[in-house]
Structure 1
Amino acid sequence: MASLVESELKSGIIFGDAENAEYVYMPASEIGIENPVCVYEMGDMRDDVDVKEALRLIRTRSLRPSAHPRLGESSC
């Protein structure tokens, strides 16, 4: 069974920390596919990560649902 955070991530919720300019989200084009790719942004750096790594980053960085500077509160 998926965790609440995983369900929110897979529905387009953006997790982040605006103070540190750090965000993890699943692009709208990846929602609903079998092996989706998520995006991890920190400052000017942007990297593709799998769902397992995205969940690890959210947990270890204590990221919370937040608004992305360009995308807003959802990637959808």
Structure 2
Amino acid sequence: MSKILAEQLLAGIILADNDNREYIYLPGGEVGSEDPHCVFEKNGERAGDLPLEEAVELAKRLHLSPGRHPELGSRAW
């Protein structure tokens, strides 16, 4: 697991690919939880909640980087 991507998600940074409309972020309600789950959105729809490790692996596979969500901006909270 990429520690950098995990730390970015835990800090509220949204990982995005605006061209493909793919976003992964940690909602504010998950901050400080023992097993944080991230949200994955694709084409404006929530595709599911993912444990942090799975979210990081998906972000790596999709080549997501810090970016802007169309509604949330650059930070999830």
Q: The TM-score by the shorter chain falls in which range?
A: over 0.9
Give the TM-score normalised by the residue count of structure 2.
Answer: 0.91
Aligned residues: 75
Moved over 2 A (4+): none
**Aligned residues with identical type, % of pairs:** 37
| Partner Cα distance (1:26, 1:13) in 2 | 8
Instruction: Indicate yes or no: 2:63 matched with 1:62.
Output: yes
CA shift for structure 1 position 31: 1.1
Instruction: Indicate yes or no: 2:14 matched with 1:14.
Output: yes
CA deviations 1:23-47 (Å, max 9, x no partner) are 0000011111111110000113311
Structure 2 regions of 5+ residues with no counterpart? Answer: none
Give the TM-score normalised by the residue count of structure 1.
Answer: 0.92
3-state DSSP of counterpart to 2:16: strand
| Partner Cα distance (1:71, 1:45) in 2 | 14
Correspondence 1:19-38 to 2 at 5 A:
19-38=19-38
3-state DSSP of counterpart to 2:32: coil
3-state DSSP of counterpart to 1:20: coil
Q: CA RMSD for the aligned pairs? A: 1.2
Structure 1 regions of 5+ residues with no counterpart? Answer: none
